[in-house]
Chain A
């Protein structure tokens, strides 16, 4: 199993550009999450999904959108990128059978200039 994969690993965006961060898991997990990690701060939940077709906002959803058309994929869309979205983004997945232990992807380092 590859686990949770994310692409790209690094990206530099100009202000106002848009992009999609890809996340795929091959563990058949129902639950998927997007977090951002800023220096000196704990991981903050952006969006999460409890199954295909179901998504919900986390703590810091503004400026982002998600979709969950399949169990495997959970892309995060940034529209009109702003410098405040410079961060490291992590995707994670979990399932009830393993008591919601979360498995993380390798992260995407995004810089908006």
Chain B
């Protein structure tokens, strides 16, 4: 079973700062997902990637398959970015429709 570790667990930033959240996993995967959960809210998928880098607005996700590591970056952070960010991975073979989740990183961006 894959072990998914996220760091840091909690992160507080000032508005405008550059944010990095890290995710590492133990076993080869077919894809890595970054999800966002607002307080008391539902969960939305931000990115799904299996190699390289993806960008959407101020969010950038990168993955290094050899090092089994991914990062989520937020440029010019804003208080509305405050949320829990969750990393999840799907298996390389067989049940690649199932995800294993990290515990999440709570991001608070202060004005």
A interface, CB within 8 angstroms of B: 31, 33, 40-45, 48, 50, 58, 90, 92, 94, 96, 99-107
B interface, CB within 8 angstroms of A: 4, 31, 33, 41-45, 48, 86, 88, 90, 96-104
Roughly how many angstroms separate A31 CA and B88 CA in the complex, as a whole number?
17
Among candidates A31, A42, A101, A104, residue contacting B104 with C-beta atoms closer than 8 Å: A42
Roughly how many angstroms separate A102 CA and B90 CA in the complex, as a whole number?
11
CB–CB B103/A40 < 8 A: yes
Can you list 5 residue pairs at the A/B interface with Cβ under 8 Å? A40-B103, A42-B104, A48-B98, A50-B97, A107-B43
Determine the residue in chain B with the shortest Cβ distance to A4.
Answer: B42
Among candidates A41, A48, A94, A104, residue contacting B43 with C-beta atoms closer than 8 Å: A104
